[in-house]
Every structure is written in C-alpha cells, then in structure tokens.
C-alpha cells in the first residue's frame, strides 16, 4: 500500500506565491474542504495517509510535493525556488527521515519537486523559474550512483514541469506541448490534453487509478475513452494558487 504524505491548508493560503495567474480572492475554508476531498480520494485509491498539520506562516505549504523528491533508494530534500517556501522543507525532512536515507539540494541551487518527473530509471527535470541547472547537476551526482539518468527539459509559460507533463503509466504521458518540449519524451506514447484546457496535463496515478481535477471534462473524456480509470476531485480553489493534484502529496510507493 503506498503512503501519501499531505499537509493541511495554511490559514494564510491566500498569500500564496503566484507566477502565471492573476491574484483572485481565495476562500481558505473552501480550499480546506477541497483538500479534505483530495485526501479522501487518495485513501479511496489505496493510500495510507500521513497528514501533517497546517503551517500557519507558510502559505504554500499545502503543496508539499515541492519539498522533496522520493525514490526507492533515497529522498532528496529540495531547496524551493521561492524564498517564502524555503522553510517548508524542515518539517518534511523530519518525517521523511523515518522512511528513507536523506540527501539535500545545497545552496545556491534551487529545486521545486514539481519540476521532477520520475519515469522508471529516468528523471526529467524542468528548467523553470524555480529550478536551476546547478540543482540538476546535484541530482545527477546523487542519483547517478543508483543508476538513474537525469535529463533537463525546456519549459515555456508554466510554473513546473509537472504542470505540462505527467505519467499515466505504462510508458504513456499526458502532455501540453505548448509548455514542455515534447522532443524530450520521444520514447514515450504521448496523449495530448484538449487545447481548451491548458492546465489539464497534471494527473496523479496511484496504482491504476488517476486522481484528476474535475475542471477538465474534455481531457478526462479522452483519458476514459483510452482506458484510464479516473477519480475526479474538485480542486478549483487550490488551482487559484497555481496548484494541481500532484503537488498536494508526496507519495512513498
Ligand atoms: C507556488 O507558486 O509555489 C505555489 N503557489 C504553487 C505551487 C504548486 N506546486 C506544484 O505544482 N508542484
């Protein structure tokens, strides 16, 4: 049974970082209720949940994916690109030390976990505004010893690599080619999102089930027709902070 580590929504969630979206009013109570629905979906998909309490003064801390990269052999504690998010890693490192050996990205390099897509022994890292080439070099040196190859991927117009491309299992990827350079993924089968739904490329697979936002019906329809089992969740309030479904958990397979 996979374990999912999650963290409740901060009371200061409305003070989140924003890069590509305009700030809109955010209802923290609605965001919390949606987060609870997301945690229920993780449970329904077969995860055991370890839920960390909300961090009052860390507005974006619900997006726990950005604080670590978990592999079977090691967990790498990141150094998030936004200064307001750097303290988020502390509590996560404490919890992860019970599950894995830890390594850490060292200053001045920065890395957000949302930029790291693990596909078997290949690790793809988005060159975003949050993740630096130096971090990619550090990942190469830590992960090379375990037989992983690390690739960098050029991004345009989105926050993280996993805003643009995620795995739906069996060598298949869900992708927005406007945001990620698809040539990096030539050895995979690519499923394109609907052009009307640019944020639709972020799906979280737990075993054979895809946890997926309710807001992308055209892409969801395409996925279901191609045999992907979906569990849809309303994450519209979390999306106002540029978050999606992978970013609200750390999965320990
Ligand atoms: C940020 O800008 O850092 C947050 N407001 C959103 C982070 C979303 N994280 C993710 O997609 N992995």
Specify the ligand 1 atom closest to the Cα of 202. 11
Q: What SS3 class is residue 175?
A: strand
Task: Say how far apart CA 137 and CA 21 lie, in whole Å.
Answer: 30
Specify the ligand 1 atom closest to the Cα of 112. 12
Residue 160 known to be catalytic:
yes
Counting ligand 1 atoms within 8 A of each CB, the residue from 115, 159, 213 with the most, and so the one to mutate, is 159
pLDDT for 110 equals 98
Specify the ligand 1 atom closest to the Cα of 130. 3
pLDDT cut 90: percent of the chain above it: 100
pLDDT for 201 equals 98
pLDDT band at 145 (very low <50, low <70, confident <90, very high): very high
E strand or H helix at 233: strand 229-233
E-state strands within 55-195 = 68-70, 75-77, 102-104, 116-119, 122-127, 149-154, 165-169, 172-175, 189-192
CA of 247 to the centre of ligand 1 (A): 7
Q: Across the beta sheet with 204-206, what order do the strands follow?
A: 204-206, 209-213, 229-233
Please write the tens of the pLDDT for every residue from 84-125.
999 999 999 999 999 999 999 999 999 999 999 999 999 999
Is the CB–ligand 1 distance for residue 244 below 6 Å? Answer: yes
Q: Is 133:140 a contact under the CB 8 Å cutoff?
A: no
Active-site pick, 158, 160, 188, 248:
160
Sign of the C-alpha dihedral computed for residues 52, 209, 239 and 117 taken in this order? positive
Task: Say how far apart CA 253 and CA 251 lie, in whole Å.
Answer: 6
pLDDT for 45 equals 98
Q: Across the beta sheet with 3-7, what order do the strands follow?
A: 48-52, 3-7, 250-252
Is the CB–ligand 1 distance for residue 95 below 6 Å? Answer: no
CA of 84 to the centre of ligand 1 (A): 12
Is the CB–ligand 1 distance for residue 55 below 6 Å? Answer: no
Is the CB–ligand 1 distance for residue 136 below 6 Å? Answer: no
CA of 21 to the centre of ligand 1 (A): 11
Please write the tens of the pLDDT for every residue from 20-57.
999 999 999 999 999 999 999 999 999 999 999 999 99
Task: Say how far apart CA 186 and CA 192 lie, in whole Å.
Answer: 14
Counting ligand 1 atoms within 8 A of each CB, the residue from 21, 69, 79, 241 with the most, and so the one to mutate, is 241
pLDDT for 79 equals 98
Task: Say how far apart CA 188 and CA 90 lie, in whole Å.
Answer: 36
Specify the ligand 1 atom closest to the Cα of 82. 3
E strand or H helix at 6: strand 3-7
Region 225-251: mean pLDDT is 97
CA distances in angstroms from 122 to 47, 78, 84, 194, 211, listed in the order given: 24, 18, 30, 27, 23
Task: Say how far apart CA 60 and CA 67 lie, in whole Å.
Answer: 11
């Amino acid at each position: 049974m996979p374990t999912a580590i999650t963290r409740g929504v901060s009371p200061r969630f409305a003070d989140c970082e924003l890069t590509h979206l305009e700030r809109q009013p955010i209802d923290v109570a609605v965001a919390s209720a949606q987060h609870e629905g997301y945690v229920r979906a993780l449970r329904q998909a077969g995860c055991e949940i370890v839920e960390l309490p909300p961090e009052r003064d860390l507005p974006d801390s619900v997006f726990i994916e950005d604080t670590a990269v978990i592999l079977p052999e090691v967990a790498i504690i990141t150094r998030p690109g936004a200064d307001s998010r750097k303290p988020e890693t502390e509590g996560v490192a404490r919890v992860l030390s019970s599950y894995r050996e830890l390594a850490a990205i060292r200053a001045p390099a920065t890395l957000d976990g949302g930029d790291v897509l693990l596909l078997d022994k290949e690790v793809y890292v988005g060159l975003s505004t949050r993740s630096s080439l130096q971090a990619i070099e550090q990942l190469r040196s830590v992960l090379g010893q375990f037989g992983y190859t690390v690739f960098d991927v050029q991004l345009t117009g989105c926050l993280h690599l996993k805003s643009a491309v995620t795995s739906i299992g069996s060598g298949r990827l869900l992708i927005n080619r406007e945001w990620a350079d698809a040539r990096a993924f030539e050895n995979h089968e690519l499923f394109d999102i609907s052009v009307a739904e640019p944020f639709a490329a972020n799906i979280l697979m737990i075993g054979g089930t895809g946890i997926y936002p309710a807001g992308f019906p055209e892409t969801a329809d395409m996925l279901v027709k191609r045999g992907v089992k979906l569990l849809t969740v309303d994450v519209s309030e979390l999306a106002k902070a540029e978050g999606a479904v992978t970013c609200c958990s750390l999965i320990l397979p």
